[in-house]
């Protein structure tokens, strides 16, 4: 009786009678029974009465499968089932188990049957496990290559154990992992064509591959349709782990489309699902948490007063990964961005140097490398280095209708490097890029490119006015923070134009941004004191003058303060501008503030 209760996970008399093959009244006559916390009674039963236990166990597996209780059946069949029973469970419900919370048992189950006759029947599931859970995509790739070679030798058009649609979905996921966005979309289209409905878990896997492939191909609007279909099916079939993966892809799409409201709604929906299912360690939650942190950083830019956590949406979706974890790389980029946003330049420099070392020691996807490049450019906006900017400018991929998302991001970052270096950018090329970004609905990237164009050489006040207008719904434009040194000059120029009075909203935003950029640093040092060590590339006198510029002293006031001639002051200022790549008084003020902030 106790063993049957373990199998059923229940004390219901009808369920126990079904498993034992007894009349219900005999179960009731036997009296109450508990459900032990472990499987010791079941092990004892198999030792004491192996034939009866085996027959009852077979009935129990059939009953649990009919009830859809695959997560309960899996550990039992792993512990007490025969290889044939394990294979049967995997064939019948292995894909369901892959996308449910207690899926850890799937790995040992697959390993336990890997050498059994008939193991080829669960090979697709094994490949998906390697790709999606164990993250050993190179192992899955080698196995697929071996299977392809076997098909060639046997001149077989297809493999019964691995039909083309499922094989295409697996290839698509591998291509995504290995930065082949074009190949991923090509394979995903083949998989989609082979699954006319979404009624099986492997068909849903193909829908997931398609949504991700469209997103990585730079088509986030198109990605939303298969992802929405996938989420509906996951709710229908009870597949929360796959649903979290779909939420992560959907959130990325909303982020690229610049739809902060939809992004927040998606994050909240994923949070609610994870909490309801008791899921805390899904890889998708790490990606969703990075998107939440990125949105929080954007909201905090130029925020007055600073934003403070206070709702569920402001709490993390996943615990932080150890810094030594491979997957922590993008989290560490966000840490560096937070330091840069706080003008903690010394600490940010150390963080970026550590990221650069990690990037040379292991493969990282291009999306992660772009995030690191963005953080590096933020730092170079404060402390330009000609060689580093030249390297970033050189990495310009072709931009056309076939460009992938990472290529488009990389192109815009290269344009930003040129703007920071004061190098002219071809206007026709930028216009073509903007048209491509607009056609794809890549709002956030399009607005970044507009700002880069506005601060270029020469500055484009019309482009800046358009960018300000596009920020009407965003009270804290994040790109203004990392491009602040160059943007300050453009804002000053725009605010002196007579036409600006016809654009009150844009004028108000420009004034607020400029006021924030030129605000004195939050230190209690008297105006006359100069007690912060000079940057290595400035002399002591040049550093004194730059600090006084940061306190809004005029040239005449500086000359009086330092008891030198006005001509001497101007000479020193020209040298400072040349050494630091400064192009305007406003930029000099902003740079002085950044250099005076205490590290950290």
Q: Which residues of the chain have pLDDT under 50?
A: 35, 305-310, 522-530, 599-600
Handedness of CA 107, 108, 114, 117 (dihedral sign): negative
* pLDDT tens digits, one per residue of 306-326: 444 445 567 899 999 999 999
CA proximity to 488, closest of 468, 463, 466, 514? 514
Q: What residue ranges define each of the domains in the chain, with the CATH number in brackets?
A: 540-596 (1.10.10.10)
In angstroms, rounded to a whole number, what is the distance separating the alpha carbons of residues 3 and 269? Answer: 40
Query: What is the pLDDT, as a whole number, of residue 175?
Result: 96
Q: Specify the pLDDT at position 205.
A: 96
- The pLDDT assigned to 508 comes to 87
pLDDT value of position 599? 46
The three-state DSSP-derived secondary structure of 327-386 is HHHHHHHHHHHHHHHCCCHHHHHHHHHHHHHHHHHCCCCHHHHHHHHHHHHHHHHHCCCH
pLDDT of residue 8: 62
CA-CA distance, 459 to 31, in Å (whole number)?
Answer: 87
Looking at residue 528, its pLDDT comes to 44
pLDDT of residue 12: 66
| pLDDT at residue 32, rounded to an integer | 54
């Amino acid at each position: 009786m106790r063993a049957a209760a373990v199998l059923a996970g229940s004390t219901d008399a009808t369920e126990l009678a079904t498993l034992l093959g007894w009349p219900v009244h005999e179960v009731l006559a036997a009296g109450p029974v508990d459900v032990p916390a472990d499987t010791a009674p079941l092990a004892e039963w198999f030792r004491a009465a192996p034939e009866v236990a085996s027959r009852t166990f077979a009935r129990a597996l059939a009953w649990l499968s009919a009830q859809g209780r695959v997560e309960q059946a899996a550990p039992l069949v792993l512990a007490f089932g025969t290889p044939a029973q394990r294979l049967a469970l995997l064939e019948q419900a292995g894909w369901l188990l892959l996308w449910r919370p207690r899926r850890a048992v799937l790995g040992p189950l697959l390993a336990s049957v890997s050498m059994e006759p008939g193991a080829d029947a669960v090979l697709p599931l094994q490949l998906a496990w390697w790709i999606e859970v164990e993250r050993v995509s190179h192992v899955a790739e080698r196995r697929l290559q071996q299977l392809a070679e076997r098909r060639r030798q046997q001149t077989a058009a297809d493999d019964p154990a691995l039909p083309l649609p499922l094989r295409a979905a697996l290839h698509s996921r591998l291509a995504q992992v290995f930065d082949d966005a074009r190949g991923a979309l090509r394979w995903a289209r083949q998989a989609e064509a082979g699954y006319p409905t979404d009624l099986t878990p492997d068909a849903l896997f193909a829908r997931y591959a398609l949504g991700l492939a469209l997103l990585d191909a730079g088509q986030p609007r198109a990605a939303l349709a298969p992802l929405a279909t996938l989420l509906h099916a996951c709710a229908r079939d009870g597949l929360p782990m796959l649903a979290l993966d779909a939420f992560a892809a959907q959130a990325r799409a909303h982020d690229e489309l610049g739809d902060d409201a939809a992004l927040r709604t998606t994050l909240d929906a994923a949070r609610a699902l994870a909490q309801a299912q008791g899921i805390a360690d899904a890889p998708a939650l790490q990606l969703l948490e990075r998107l939440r942190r990125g949105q929080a950083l954007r909201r905090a830019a130029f925020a007055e007063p600073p934003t403070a956590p206070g709702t569920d949406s402001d709490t993390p979706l996943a615990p932080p990964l150890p810094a030594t974890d491979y997957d922590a790389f993008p989290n560490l980029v966000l840490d560096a961005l937070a330091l840069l946003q706080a003008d903690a330049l010394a600490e940010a420099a150390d963080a970026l140097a550590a990221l650069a070392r990690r990037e040379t020691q292991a493969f990282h996807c291009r999306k992660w490398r772009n995030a690191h490049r963005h953080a590096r450019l933020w730092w170079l906006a404060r402390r330009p280095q000609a060689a580093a900017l030249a390297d970033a400018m050189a990495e310009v991929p072709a931009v056309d209708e076939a460009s992938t998302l990472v290529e488009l991001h990389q192109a815009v970052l290269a344009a930003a490097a040129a703007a920071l270096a004061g190098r002219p950018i071809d206007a026709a090329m930028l216009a073509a890029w903007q048209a491509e970004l607009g056609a794809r609905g890549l709002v956030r990237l399009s607005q970044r490119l507009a700002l880069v164009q506005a601060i270029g050489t020469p500055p484009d006040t019309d482009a800046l006015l358009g960018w300000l207008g596009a920020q009407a719904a965003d009270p804290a434009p994040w790109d203004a923070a990392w491009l602040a040194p160059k943007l300050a000059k453009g804002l000053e120029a725009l605010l002196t134009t007579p036409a600006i009075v016809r654009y009150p909203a844009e004028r108000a935003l420009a004034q607020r941004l400029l006021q924030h950029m030129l605000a004195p640093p939050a230190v209690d040092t008297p105006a006359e004191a100069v007690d912060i060590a000079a940057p290595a590339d400035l002399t002591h006198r040049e550093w004194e003058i730059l600090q006084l510029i940061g306190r809004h002293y005029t040239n005449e006031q500086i000359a009086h303060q330092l008891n030198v001639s006005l001509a001497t002051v101007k000479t020193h200022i020209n040298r400072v501008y040349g050494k630091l790549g400064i192009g305007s008084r406003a930029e000099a003020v902003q740079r002085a503030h950044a250099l005076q902030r205490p590290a950290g």
